[in-house]
Amino acid sequence: DVKVTQSSRYLVKRTGEKVFLECVQDMDHENMFWYRQDPGLGLRLIYFSYDVKMKEKGDIPEGYSVSREKKERFSLILESASTNQTSMYLCASSAVNQPQHFGDGTRLSIL
Amino acid sequence: AQRVTQPEKLLSVFKGAPVELKCNYSYSGSPELFWYVQYSRQRLQLLLRHISRESIKGFTADLNKGETSFHLKKPFAQEEDSAMYYCALRNNAGNMLTFGGGTRLMVKP
């Protein structure tokens, strides 16, 4: 069974802090994704990576960056956290042209 | 640009009643459509995909290219079907999904 693990279920940070959200998958998937999930807006793609050190912007990349130094790990970075980045963050992974598998999510609050 | 619309944010039905969760999409090519489900306190998981043409937990969905719809249906709703449902589209150019806003299904006893 595919396992996508997000390092924290809940995280509280202050505005202006640099925040790291970590995601690890154990199925050697090429693709990894970061979404944010907000009521009424569904899931919106922040960034997508299709290989180590490769990334593409999603629909809402502003204020975020990502890092993929190893195939199994995909990090989301909030360079200077703001209150409008309070949200649920979901990581997903997939093999090429296969369905995505999701982690449990990290509920991030920016105070 | 591709877009997925789920017109109902909340759908409430009684146990045993038929249920239909609507999904409409806009995309000029040949999309692949999915339904994902998120039960309370669980992770988002794939429910079904249109190319599989299978029934999962009694749910079915047919891709209607003429109406650009992919509605999810179940003839007799169960209380355990209460969850958040998301329709998603993948275009034929890559691996990214576009999600709808989601519909919360509540099945009352």
Interatomic CA distance for residues A14 and A42, integer angstroms:
25
Q: Which residue of A has its CA nearest to B89?
A: A99
Q: Which residues of chain B have pLDDT under 70?
A: 93-94
Q: Do B43 and A103 touch (CB under 8 A)?
A: yes
* A99 Cβ under 8 Å from any chain B Cβ: yes
Neighbouring-strand partners of residue B14: B108
Mark yes or no for CB contact A97/B102 under 8 Å. no
Q: Is the CB of B34 inside 8 Å of chain A's CB atoms?
A: yes
Spell out which residues of chain A touch residue B99, defining contact as CB-CB under 8 Å.
35, 42-44
Q: Is A10 on the interface with B (CB under 8 A)?
A: no
Give me the pLDDT at residue A51, please. 92
Number of A/B CB contacts below 8 angstroms equals 47
- List, run by run, the mean pLDDT of 10-residue segments along chain A (111 residues): 88 97 95 94 93 92 96 97 97 91 96 95
Q: How far apart, in whole angstroms, are the C-alpha atoms of residue A28 and residue A101?
A: 12
**CA-to-CA distance for B45 and A71, rounded, in angstroms?**
22
Q: Contact at 8 Å (CB) between A56 and A48?
A: yes
- The residue of chain A nearest to residue B1, with distances taken between CA atoms, is A59
- CB contacts of B9 in chain A (<8 Å) are 40
Closest alpha carbon to A8 in A69, A89, A73? A89
Q: Which residue of A has its CA nearest to B101?
A: A42
**A48–B96: do the CB atoms touch at under 8 Å?**
yes
Report CB contact under 8 Å: A42, B100: yes
Laid out side by side, the sheet with A64-70 consists of A4-6, A19-25, A73-78, A64-70
- Pick the residue of B40, B96, B103, B104 with the most A CBs within 10 A to test the interface with A by mutation: B96
pLDDT at B26: 93
Other beta carbons within 10 angstroms of residue A72's beta carbon come to 16
| pLDDT of amino acid A37 | 95
Residue pair B33/B23 in contact by the 8 Å Cβ criterion: yes
Nearest-angstrom CA–CA distance, A27 and B70: 30
Nearest Cα of chain B lies from the Cα of A96 at a distance, in angstroms, of 7
Model pLDDT, residue A83: 97
Handedness of CA A33, A36, A39, A42 (dihedral sign): negative
pLDDT in tens, A24-42: 999 999 999 999 999 888 8
Burial of residue B74 (CB within 10 Å: 0-12, 13-18, 19+) is: buried
